[in-house]
Each structure stands twice: as C-alpha cells, then as structure tokens.
C-alpha cells in the first residue's frame, strides 16, 4: 500500500489521472446534490428562451421547450449513474455468487452453473439485454438489471477461477484441519482472498455499463420523458441536429468524459493491484 506522499506524487505526475478523478467526483456530486451546480429547473422550461445557444445564461444552451440543457445533464446524472452502479452491482453480486458456488461446490453443480454461463456468453450482450428489456418492460431499473445480467458471465468465470486457486491454499487446509466448517472457511478465508481481482473487474465494467445503459436509454427503453437521463437527452436532440447542435453534443460529451475517466481510473487501480 503506497503512502499518501507517493500517491500524491503519482497523481501530479499523471495529470490525466488527476482530471479523471475530478470528472468522477463532479459527476457523483451532480448525482447526489444537483443543486450545487445549477438552480434552473430541469423539467419546466421557459418558452421564451427556447433553442438558445450556449452562453453565460445557459452553459449548454436550451432545448426546444426552453429547458436549460446543463440543468438537465446535471439532474440526469442521478438516474444515469444509479443505473450504471445497479448494473455493475447485479453483475458483481450475481456473477460472483454463481462463480463461488461453482468453484466451491464443484461436481455437477459446477458443470451446471458453467454451462449456464456459456449460454449467456453465446448471445451478444446487447441482444441479451434487449431480450431482457422486452420481457421485463421499460424503465431505468429494468435497463440496469438487463445490462447487469448480460455482463455477469465474466464475473462468474473469474470468481470461479479465483476460488479454485485460493481453495488449494495451505491456510484453507489449515482452517479445515482445525475444524472450521466449510461455510466458515468460505466466508472468512476463500471469499476475502478471491475478491480482489473481481473488484478490479467491477471497476473495468463500470465504463462498459455507462455506455450500455446510455445506449439503451438512447434507444428509448429507459426513463419516460421528461425525466432527464444522459442517453435520452442525446436522443431528444436528434431532431434538432441542424439547428441546435448543443442539444446532442454536450450530453454526449458528458457520457464520453465519464467513460474515459472511469477507464483511466480503473486502469490505474489495475496497475496498482499488479505492482
């Protein structure tokens, strides 16, 4: 574990990483306390101010009903990021649980779980999530669950291989020999020792999940309008490409910035884990 000073030094030496952390902090703050960034209403527009270009009064301009695009992006952070986190959480929890079960129990259960995982991977993940959305219905939560399920196979595989690796450890044998029950061994020894790489995978998946969630929201399967969501904001500006470029450009840039920042941070975490 590097001390604070070396950590500060790495941050100063790679300004990209610093900017990435800043982007993520801003995005999270916007999700938790949108009032910090804007006092304009994201839902009710001012018709007199419709389709204004970006400027001092409206940083990202206004849309066709006079709503401030910046306010909508800021207020959209909550739903978009919540959906992303939920998606990763679903993949992480369900995938790890399956992998843990398969790796720990072994035998026919292992084969059964892993065949199921094979099947999940046989269908491209966007088609899988689209099928789930068809069945579950539309809405941000359903989109998040669908994206989560479509990504869980990798987690199950990784968790299983980690469990198989840790299981053979001397300390596990020692715990067994000293009379700890399997459940105790699982919770106290196997799980904590196999979780590291799985958590790194979770941070890597965050970026993917932001993209997939916003793509489904762009296609119109997410929140119902006028509730702002990053993907649907871009979709909403589609009809105004020629006249109001800011309606699509800024929400899109926001998604790109968050994904880039997430990928940069997760790479840094990955490298630190390997070092």
Can residue 195 be called a binding residue for another protein (CB under 8 A)? no
What gap in Å lies between CA 213 and CA 25, rounded to an integer?
A: 20
Shortest CB 266 distance to another protein, Å: 11
Can residue 13 be called a binding residue for another protein (CB under 8 A)? no
Shortest CB 180 distance to another protein, Å: 38
Burial 197-236 (b: 16+ CB within 10 A, else e): ebebbbbbbbbbbbbbbbbbbbbebbbeeebbbbbbbbbb
Can residue 32 be called a binding residue for another protein (CB under 8 A)? no
Q: What are the angstrom distances between the C-alpha of 166 and each of 6, 174, 195, 249?
A: 31, 13, 10, 48
Can residue 170 be called a binding residue for another protein (CB under 8 A)? no
Among 17, 130, 195, 269, binds another protein (CB under 8 A): 130
Q: List all residues 6 or more positions away from 246 whose beta carbon is below 8 Å from its beta carbon.
A: 53, 54, 60, 61, 69, 237
Binding mask 214-253 for another protein (x = CB under 8 A): xx--xxxx---------x--xx-xx--xx--x--xx--xx
Q: List all residues 6 or more positions away from 42 whose beta carbon is below 8 Å from its beta carbon.
A: 34, 67, 68, 71, 72, 74, 75, 76, 228
Shortest CB 255 distance to another protein, Å: 5
Can residue 259 be called a binding residue for another protein (CB under 8 A)? yes
Among 190, 198, 206, 255, binds another protein (CB under 8 A): 255
Can residue 137 be called a binding residue for another protein (CB under 8 A)? yes
Among 85, 93, 97, 260, binds another protein (CB under 8 A): 260
Tokens 């106290």 correspond to what residue? 188
Shortest CB 210 distance to another protein, Å: 8
Query: Considering only residues 107-126, where is the footprint of another protein by CB under 8 A?
Result: 115, 118-120, 122-126
Backbone angles phi, psi at 68, to 5 degrees: -75, 120
Picking from 239, 223, 254, 215, the residue whose alpha carbon sits closest to that of residue 69 is 254
Cβ nearer to another protein, comparing 168 with 243: 243
Neighbours of 145 (CB within 10 A): 21
Shortest CB 95 distance to another protein, Å: 16
Shortest CB 162 distance to another protein, Å: 23
For residue 226, whether the previous peptide bond is cis, meaning omega lies within 30 degrees of 0, is yes
Can residue 132 be called a binding residue for another protein (CB under 8 A)? yes
What gap in Å lies between CA 160 and CA 63, rounded to an integer?
A: 49
Residues making contact with another protein (CB under 8 A): 115, 118-120, 122-128, 130-137, 207, 211, 214-215, 218-221, 231, 234-235, 237-238, 241-242, 245, 248-249, 252-253, 255-256, 259-260, 263
């Amino acid at each position: 574990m590097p001390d604070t000073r070396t950590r500060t030094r790495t941050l100063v030496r790679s300004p990209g990483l610093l900017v990435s952390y800043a982007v993520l902090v801003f995005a999270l703050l916007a999700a938790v306390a949108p009032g910090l960034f804007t006092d304009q209403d994201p839902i009710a527009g001012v018709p007199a101010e419709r389709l204004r270009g970006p400027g001092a009064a409206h940083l990202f301009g206004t849309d066709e009903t006079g709503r401030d695009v910046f306010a909508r992006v800021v207020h959209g952070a909550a739903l978009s990021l919540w959906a992303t986190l939920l998606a990763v959480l679903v993949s992480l929890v369900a995938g790890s649980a399956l992998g843990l079960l398969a790796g720990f129990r072994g035998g026919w259960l292992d084969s059964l779980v892993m065949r199921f995982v094979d099947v999940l991977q046989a269908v491209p993940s966007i088609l899988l999530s689209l099928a789930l959305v068809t069945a579950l219905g539309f809405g941000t939560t359903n989109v998040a669950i669908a994206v989560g399920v479509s990504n869980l196979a990798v987690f199950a595989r990784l968790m299983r291989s980690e469990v198989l690796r840790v299981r053979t450890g001397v300390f596990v044998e020692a715990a067994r020999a000293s009379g700890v029950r399997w459940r105790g061994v699982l919770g106290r020894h196997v799980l904590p020792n196999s979780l590291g790489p799985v958590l790194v995978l979770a941070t890597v998946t965050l970026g993917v999940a932001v993209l997939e969630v916003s793509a489904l929201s762009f296609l119109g399967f997410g929140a119902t309008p006028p509730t702002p969501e990053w993907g649907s904001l871009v979709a909403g500006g589609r009809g105004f490409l020629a006249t109001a470029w800011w309606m699509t450009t800024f929400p899109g840039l926001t998604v790109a910035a968050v994904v880039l920042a997430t990928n940069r941070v997760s790479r840094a975490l990955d490298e630190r884990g390997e070092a």
